[in-house]
Structure 1
Amino acid sequence: MDTAIQSLRDGFKQVLAEQHDAWRQVLDGLSAEALNWSPGPEMNSLAVLVTHSLGAEEFLIATAVGEAVQRDREAEFRAEAPDATTLLRLIDESSARTAELLDRVTAEDLSAIRQPAGDRLNRRHPGIWWLLHAVEHSREHLGQALLTRQLYESRS
């Protein structure tokens, strides 16, 4: 069973590393103006999408292993970035923290029902759900970020 759990950990780390690399590509070469630009009302900038995605990713993975992380979700949606380097550093720091969390995943965590304190949606799911949701949530926002960059670059 140890080999299976290690393979699962490694697989999640690889998928998230690939997604983090895709985030880096989205941010590549962009100015502060581009990073903080929003396509319209009730739409998020790249700075917000990166900040929120990483915050959610850590929250969801920590929940899977029965841990809590400090998070200000509302502040994530007000994020601004002075430059791409700041967001790239955020990605690197978050990557290290999520890898450490994934190293702690056990077989018991996968089936243990987790309900994080203060969850705004009052969710209650097994650990594997929280891990899978971390990947899908990040990928969803990555798609939004790709489109946001295209919209920024195509404005007249």
Structure 2
Amino acid sequence: MTKKDSPMHSHFQAYLERLATLHNDIVTVLDRLPQAALDWKPAPTMNSIAVLIAHSAGAETYWIGDVTLRRSSERVRATEFTVGGLDHADLKARLDQALADAQATLAQLTIEQLTEERYAPSQERNFTVGWCLLHALEHTATHVGHVQLMGDMWERLHVERHVERREELNP
């Protein structure tokens, strides 16, 4: 049986489950927000929910797939911060693609490879495969928190505005 035919190691299965849970946490927020909320920024210098999702998906693909498998990366990180007008389906598709890429990558890895070093062009230095995987997971988790907070802020601002407006119209 070749590595491609063997089942994924339980360590990598657990990793993939955690990553999928983080993606589901993002989708939970997406599903409750209107389209206008996706490009909203709480302040001019902050990122939108769409940007955070595009960036998270791009970073996952880079660290989990490109770096660990030594693939030539086609990622242009700067473009992740300029997205706009993406709808719910577009953002979910980016998450789904990143998760599928992670699954395909993890299926190729062995536990022994966790201590092997890989060169990360974006950082111009080496990291272990284990570090790359942990970094991708922690990075996504951080942005899940950002997305959740921004979703809450959007809802709070718009509910309060709606209540204030209703009170103005019906004193």
Give the TM-score normalised by structure 1. 0.89
Structure 1 unaligned runs (5+)? none
Asked if the contact 1:52/1:73 (under 8 Å) is kept, the reply is yes
- Residue 42 of structure 2: SS of its match in structure 1? coil
Q: Which residue of 2 aligns with 1:76?
A: 80
**What is the CA–CA distance in structure 2 between the aligned matches of 1:134 and 1:35, rounded to whole Å?**
23
> Aligned partner of 1:50: which letter?
I
Over the aligned positions, Cα root-mean-square deviation in angstroms equals 1.8
List 4+ stretches of structure 1 deviating above 4 A.
none
1:109 positional shift: 2.4
**What is the CA–CA distance in structure 2 between the aligned matches of 1:82 and 1:52, rounded to whole Å?**
13
Asked if the contact 1:26/1:149 (under 8 Å) is kept, the reply is yes
**What is the CA–CA distance in structure 1 between the aligned matches of 2:46 and 2:147, rounded to whole Å?**
11
Q: Quick one: which of 128, 143, 151 aligns to 1:149?
A: 151
Structure 2 unaligned runs (5+)? 162-171
Q: Which residue of 2 aligns with 1:113?
A: 117
Asked if the contact 2:9/2:111 (under 8 Å) is kept, the reply is no
- Residue 44 of structure 1: SS of its match in structure 2? coil
Q: Does 1:25 align with 2:28?
A: yes
| Structure 1 segment 5-154 matched on structure 2, within 5 A | 6-62=9-65, 63-117=67-121, 119=122, 121-154=123-156
**What is the CA–CA distance in structure 2 between the aligned matches of 1:43 and 1:97, rounded to whole Å?**
28
Greater Cα radius of gyration, structure 1 or 2:
2
Distance 1:127 1:42, change over 3 A: same
**What is the CA–CA distance in structure 1 between the aligned matches of 2:119 and 2:146, rounded to whole Å?**
28
1:125 positional shift: 1.3
Asked if the contact 2:120/2:127 (under 8 Å) is kept, the reply is no
Report the more deviating stretch, 62-71 or 43-52.
62-71
Distance 1:103 1:111, change over 3 A: same
Number of residue pairs aligned between Structure 1 and Structure 2 = 152
Overall identity of the aligned pairs, in % = 33
**What is the CA–CA distance in structure 2 between the aligned matches of 1:129 and 1:10, rounded to whole Å?**
17
Measured against aligned partners, the alpha-carbon deviations of 1:47-92 in whole angstroms (never above 9, x if no partner) come to: 0000000100111112123333311100000112342122112222
**What is the CA–CA distance in structure 2 between the aligned matches of 1:142 and 1:69, rounded to whole Å?**
24
**What is the CA–CA distance in structure 1 between the aligned matches of 2:125 and 2:56, rounded to whole Å?**
18
